Amino acid sequence: MAVYDLEEQEQIDNLKAWWQQHGNLITWTVSALAVAVVAWQGWNWYQGQQAAQASALFGALQQAMVKEDTQRVRTIAGELTEKFGSTAYAPMGTLMAAKVSFESGDAKTARAQLAWVAAHGKDELRDVAHLRLAGVMLDEQAYDEALKELAHKPGPALAAAYAELKGDVLVAQGKQDEARAAYKEALEAQEKDSKDGTGEAGRSPVSQLLHQKLDALGGAA
Amino acid sequence: MFDAVRNNKRIVQVFLLLITVPFAMWGLDSYMNGDGGAAQVARVGDAKITLNQFQQAMREQQDRMRSQFPGVDAKLLDSPAIRESVLNGLVDQQLLLQEVNKQRLGVSVAALQEMIANIPAFQEDGKFSQKRYEEALRSQGMSPVGFEAQLRRDMALQALIGAVGESAFVPRTVVDRVVALQVESRQVQESLISAQALKAGVKLEAGELQKFYDENQARFTLPEQVKVEYLVLSQKNLEAKVSDAEVKAWYEEHKAQYALPEERRASHILLSTDSGDKAKIKAEAEALLAQLQKNPGQFAELAKKRSQDPGSAAKGGDLGFFARGMMVKPFEDAAFGLKEGELSGLVETDFGFHIIKVTGVKAAQPKPFAEVKGEIEADLKRQSAARQFAEAAEGFTNMVYEQSDSLKPAAEHYKLSLQQSGWLTRQGGAAAGVLNHPKLMEALFSDEVIKNGRNTAALEVSPGTLVAARLLEHKPSTLRPFDAVKAEIENQLKEAKAMRAAVEQGEGKLAALKSGKQEGVSWGGSQNVSRMAPGKLDSPALAAVFQVDAGKLPGFAGVELPGVGYALYKVNKVEAGQVDPALAQALGQQLSSIAARAQVEAYMASLRQRYKVEINKAALATKE
């Protein structure tokens, strides 16, 4: 064993005393950190794993859509929501499946699918789901339910689309004055975010349609 | 020496700890590339788009536009609108990328493989070929790893956008209603108040013409014009002389380049290794070779009997003449290494074992001089002209600069004819011919040229063409005298007043009509119009007709038709139109794609808000 001079001996003693006092705390902190890091990595790995499987299903769904295999689209969408409901692929796939259901005339399934996205999706996808759900309800003449969906407040970018559909529902209900107000609100929102030119030619297709719908209600000008 | 450290141990420790923290958290990278790369053009969430990335994207976009519209104006390619749209594209991509990462939208290996396998460029005979894949990527300067990473990313972006866009639909109720609006038919009559008819009655006040002239002088000002003389030094016009001796010398030196290559004729016997045991076949071939070495005369006979090359066997193994590069490498090496009549040993190729006999040699034949003389002469002339041009360009540029008060010395020295232009304006245009180049036009209207009477610099207006010019005559911008434009102004003012009168009259009549007084308006014949089939109505008139409330008929509308007058419309009847199912279906699809686009746009706008996009306007305007 080497011989330490006095100063060094003193330092070693200091160190020992310090460790006596703080050692436990440090050991615990380091262990807790290590556990946290491992848990975090594990969680990431699990999420990545889930996402990879969900992505394969999503790919299969896209293909089934191209092949117009309605049944398969529905099955895959069901699997996505049941097994991979926490991944972003679930609302994405379900939105796609809802279109297929709607177009094949299966309004009931379309409603269920869109309602799932409205409840479990986040941000824009949720907003889009409420909008489309209201559209399906409009076709089913469930006007009050449709208006309830549209009462959900979307991000500002979708406000125009919400107001327009609200106008469509109100027209179907025969409430012309309220419909007119809704279309005007849609036009305002639309023209605010897109820098439309003035006059017929400068209008985007969306605002052209809005103008037509508004004109058709008479006394709008 | 380290006393300072020892005495201030605590301070040093704290300091060391402090500098460790940033390294641990952000790595060395943030020190190395802090802002060594480039200024940022935009910040998207946590990421930034650097000037380099932006400029790269600009170049790509410009290349695309150039290949789509050859001859497009360079200024247009660098316009603020294009810069903005390129940057927006980058920002959108970055936004999607961040959302993809946040949502963990990975793409599975299987999906990636399937995607790649289905790309036609990587297929051979309708099937994916690994070789083809690697070759195709290499020709684009990409590695499979890089390509796959990029494709994976793109697939994830596509999936995200597709989930919003491809899933859009429009309720049938809405489609039916929009279709009904398009085919709704209205029976209308028109009454036109023509401005032309009112023009004769318009009176102008005294002094009105003069006043208009004084207030709108810019309209009556002729632009500044110049007439110039100029010299064109063009590579095309340079007389390049090449002597026959030079051509001959070139020919002698580069004879090999102008020769027909050596050709050989050979016969062979092939024992295919496609099926069966290679060693056994080799032994067979060796036996055959030994037999041939004993009896060379049997070659044709044995070839007929034993060769497994169906093409040549029947001809006694004869392959005809071939040059280098036409046969597989080992075969070629053997065939070109033998003398005429000589027999090879066993030659192994991918096909099997060959025994080769060379039956003819055509040595390389130089092409006769007479045959290639023209070609060489043209080549040499081109080279010489380019050299002369390069030399002349420098001297020419210096001469027009140094003797800047005349172009004559340069004209004489380079034997160029001094040409004159017509009157030119700053805009140039086709009339300016070879002078129509933005830099040259700018120079022609500069003070140097106009006030100081100097030559312009020699400017390269197109590759191999230099132009220098100087002023002959200059017309400053001039105001046309009042008398010359008086009639023009009078006509203009009368038309404007007549138009105003027509609109006023029309609006008055419309108000009267709406309040129930129908007299005093003579209506034209009635016609049926719909949004789909507007007949003679132009779009503002059509919009006015369809704004009439169908609940209160007859209804009235009026619209100003610029340059014509004011049109009144009376809507007598509104009828639902016939719905053609094919039309309804087409419109339904159109509506759904409009909805898809609008929703994708809304999605992107929403991402922009969520991730906070900042654009550095100053950096965006930076030119390369």
**pLDDT 10s digits, B48-70:** 888 888 888 888 888 888 777 76
Least confident range from A73-77, B72-76, B211-215, B439-443: namely B72-76
Degrees to nearest 5, angle at CA B176 with B170 and B178: 80
Q: Is A183 exposed, middle or buried (0-12, 13-18, 19+ CB in 10 A)?
A: buried
pLDDT tier for residue A161 given thresholds of 50, 70 and 90: very high
Give the per-residue pLDDT at B21: 58
Say yes or no for a CB contact (<8 Å) between B108 and A52.
Answer: yes
Measure in Å the smallest separation between the Cα of A26 and chain B Cα atoms. Answer: 17
Six token digits for residue B153:
């990313």
- Residue B402 confidence (pLDDT) above 70: yes
Q: And the tokens for B451?
A: 């006030």
pLDDT band for position B206 (cuts 50, 70, 90) = confident
Contacts of B606 in chain A (CB under 8 A): 123-124, 127, 155-158
Burial of residue A99 (CB within 10 Å: 0-12, 13-18, 19+) is buried
Rg of chain B over CA atoms, in angstroms? 42
The beta-carbon neighbor of B172 closest among A48, A139, A155 is A139
Domain B262-363: CATH architecture, name and number where available? Roll (3.10)
Say if the Cβ atoms of B169 and A102 lie within 8 Å. Answer: yes
Q: What residues of chain B lie within 8 A of the CB of A139, using their CB? A: 171-173
pLDDT digits (tens, 9 = 90+) for B82-93: 888 888 888 998
Q: Give the pLDDT confidence of B148-160 residue by residue, as tens digits.
A: 888 888 888 888 8
Residue-wise pLDDT for A168-206, tens only, equals: 999 999 898 999 999 999 988 887 765 544 444 457 888
pLDDT, residue A134, reads 95
Residue bearing the bigger pLDDT, B264 or B429 = B264
Does residue B276 or residue B272 have the better pLDDT?
B272
pLDDT of residue B603: 92
Chain B residues within an 8 Å CB radius of A179: none
Chain A and chain B share a number of CB contacts under 8 A equal to: 147
- Chain B residues with beta carbon closer than 8 angstroms to that of A200: 539-540, 543
Gap between the Cα atoms of A91 and B562, Å rounded: 53
Interface of B with A in 541-600 (CB under 8 A): 543, 546-552, 591, 594-595, 598-599
Looking at residue A196, its pLDDT comes to 46
CB A108 within 8 A of CB A142: no
Residues 25-44 of A with CB under 8 A from B: none
Residues of A in contact with B184 (CB under 8 A): 216
State how far residue B503 is from chain A, nearest Cα, in angstroms: 18
State mean pLDDT over A67-77. Answer: 90
Least reliable range by pLDDT among A37-41, B247-251, B427-431, B603-607: B427-431
User: Region B589-597: what's the mean pLDDT?
Assistant: 91
DSSP 3-state helix, strand, coil percentages of chain A (rounded to 5)? 80, 0, 20
Residue of B84, B152, B153, B167 to mutate, testing the A interface (most A Cβ within 10 Å of its Cβ): B167
CA-based nearest residue in chain B for residue A201: B539
**B174 shares contact with chain A (CB less than 8 Å):** yes
- Report chain A's C-alpha Rg in angstroms: 30
Domain A153-221 has CATH 3.80.10: no
Both tokens of residue A132?
């489309």
> How close, in Å, is residue A59 to chain B by CA atoms?
6
Interchain contact A188–B (C-beta under 8 A): no
Chain B partners within 8 Å of A219 (Cβ): 549
Query: What pLDDT is attached to residue A182?
Result: 93
Look over chain A and give the mean of its residue pLDDT values, rounded to a whole number: 87
pLDDT at B424 over 90: no
Q: State residue B175's pLDDT score.
A: 92
Under an 8 A CB cutoff, do A219 and B549 touch? yes
| B322 DSSP β-pair partners | B264
- Which one has a higher pLDDT value, B451 or B258? B451
What are phi and psi for residue B475, nearest 5 degrees? -115, 115
Distance from CA of A64 to the nearest CA of B (A): 14
Mean pLDDT across chain B: 83
Domain B2-169+597-620 and domain B224-238+392-476 have a common topology = no
**Band of the pLDDT at B246, cuts 50, 70, 90?**
confident
Q: Which residue of A has its CA nearest to B557?
A: A221
ipTM of the complex: 0.83
Domain residue extents for chain B: 2-169+597-620, 185-220+482-575, 224-238+392-476, 262-363
Residues A157, B609: C-beta atoms closer than 8 Å: yes
| Entry pTM | 0.63
Q: Tell me which residue in B167, B531, B594 faces A99 most closely, judged by beta carbons.
A: B167
- How sure is the predictor about B36, in pLDDT bands with cuts at 50, 70 and 90? very low
B160 contacts in A (CB within 8 Å)?
92
Q: Say if residue B405's pLDDT is above 70.
A: yes
CA distance A215 to B449: 61
**A37 CA to centre of own chain:** 29
- Any idea which architecture B2-169+597-620 has in CATH? Orthogonal Bundle (1.10)
The reported pLDDT for the residue numbered B8 is 66
The answer to whether residue B85 neighbours chain A at the CB level (below 8 Å) is no
Helices (H), A104-204: 107-120, 123-139, 143-151, 159-172, 176-193, 199-202
Residue A121 tokens read as: 């999706």
Task: State residue A198's pLDDT score.
Answer: 47
C-alpha to C-alpha distance for A61 and A76, rounded to whole angstroms = 6
**pLDDT top residue among B472 and B3:** B472
Most confident of A50-64, B343-357, B588-602: B588-602
Best mutation target, A55, A66, A166, A183, to test chain B (most B CBs within 10 A)? A55
Interface of A with B in 76-135 (CB under 8 A): 87-89, 91-93, 95-96, 98-99, 102-103, 123-125, 127-128, 132, 135
Domain with CATH 1.20.58 in chain A: 153-221
Q: What is the mean pLDDT of residues B178-199?
A: 89
Q: Which DSSP helix (H) or strand (E) runs through B391?
A: helix B369-402
β B123-124/B555-561 pair status: unpaired
Greater confidence (A45 vs B13) lies with A45
DSSP assignment letter at B45: T
CA A49 to chain centre: 21
CATH number of B224-238+392-476: 3.10.50
**Beta strands B127-128 and B123-124: pairing type?**
antiparallel
Residue A200 has its nearest CB partner, among B167, B543, B550, at B543
> What tokens appear for B600 in the block?
């994708």
Which is more confident, B23 or A15?
A15
pLDDT given at position B207: 83
B-chain residues near A155 (CB < 8 A): 602, 606, 609
Q: Which residues contact B82 (CB under 8 A, 6 or more apart)?
A: B58, B61, B76
B303-362 residue pLDDT tens: 888 888 877 888 888 888 888 877 888 888 888 888 888 888 888 888 888 899 888 888
What percentage of chain B reaches a pLDDT higher than 90?
8
Chain B positions touching A211 (Cβ under 8 A) are: 543
